[in-house]
Amino acid sequence: MKISIKNTAGKNQGELEVKFPLIENGIGTQAVHDTVVAYRAAQRSGTACTKTAGEVAGTNKKPWKQKGTGRARAGSFQSPLWVGGGVVFGPKPRDFRKKLSKNTRALALRKALSERLKLGDIIIVDDLKLASHKTKDFVKIINTMDLSGGTTLVVSAGGADDQNLARASRNIAGVTLTTGTDLNTYDVLRPDKLLFTKSAFEQVEARLNKE
């Protein structure tokens, strides 16, 4: 499969041959589901915490004597039935992360990219360097590329792209920035369009061919 390469003015600059095998039919669907579930689970902080009756501060003294007061029996100020008492089966800090094999993650990413390529949702530009960090300069590129809605920008890792792009794009709603080495399945599926630099797409290809 070949993809057209454009410049920031929207003009064609040649073609790029996709160097990883695309996935057909329903292969990899389950891997995509498992990977997205694992990714979203890993985003949970898992810091919710409540105190049991044994952890609530208080005394072991019985609130009142067992009989003769006309009130219900009570043995502790820390009872879950009392205001300020412990919580029964409340949340405790936990790790929500799910384990996935390296092959499952690679299959999911390849499946997600295959589907977006077939739908024409991936755009490749030769370069995305900006002369300034002003948001309006980046908005011009977005408008030229007709990137309405959510967009993920994928640039090459290792300092090939300057900081102007990061600063110019961070104030635009729906636009996120990542690198070819950090791109994951959720990043591929979430936006309406994906804008790759040529070097970033080659980094992703190298990852998939290696895995």
pLDDT surpassing 60 at residue 159: no
Kindly indicate the confidence band of residue 146, based on its pLDDT and cuts at 50, 70 and 90. Answer: confident
Residue 154 buriedness (CB in 10 A; 0-12 / 13-18 / 19+): buried
24-36 pLDDT tens trace: 888 999 999 999 9
pLDDT surpassing 70 at residue 43: yes
- Are 104 and 114 within one domain? yes
Determine the average pLDDT of the residues in 49-75: 94
Alpha carbons 211 and 13: distance in angstroms, whole number: 30
User: Within 13 Å of residue 192, how many CA atoms lie on the same side as its CB?
Assistant: 11
Alpha carbons 197 and 153: distance in angstroms, whole number: 8
pLDDT surpassing 60 at residue 69: yes
- Are 50 and 133 within one domain? no
- Are 180 and 104 within one domain? yes
104-129 pLDDT tens trace: 999 999 999 999 999 999 999 988 88
86-102 pLDDT tens trace: 999 999 999 999 999 99
Structural domain including 191 reads 2-44+99-210
- Are 40 and 51 within one domain? no
Of 95, 120, 135, the position where a domain reaches its end is 95
Mean pLDDT, the chain, as a whole number? 90
- Are 162 and 144 within one domain? yes
- Are 127 and 168 within one domain? yes
- Are 86 and 189 within one domain? no
pLDDT surpassing 60 at residue 160: no
Helices (H), 99-170: 102-119, 135-144, 163-169
- Are 37 and 105 within one domain? yes
Of 95, 125, 160, the position where a domain reaches its end is 95
- Are 152 and 206 within one domain? yes
User: Where residue 205 sits, what CATH number does that domain have?
Assistant: 3.40.1370.10
The domain tally of the chain equals 2
Beta bridge partners of 176: 152
- Are 9 and 91 within one domain? no
- Are 72 and 35 within one domain? no
- Are 30 and 14 within one domain? yes
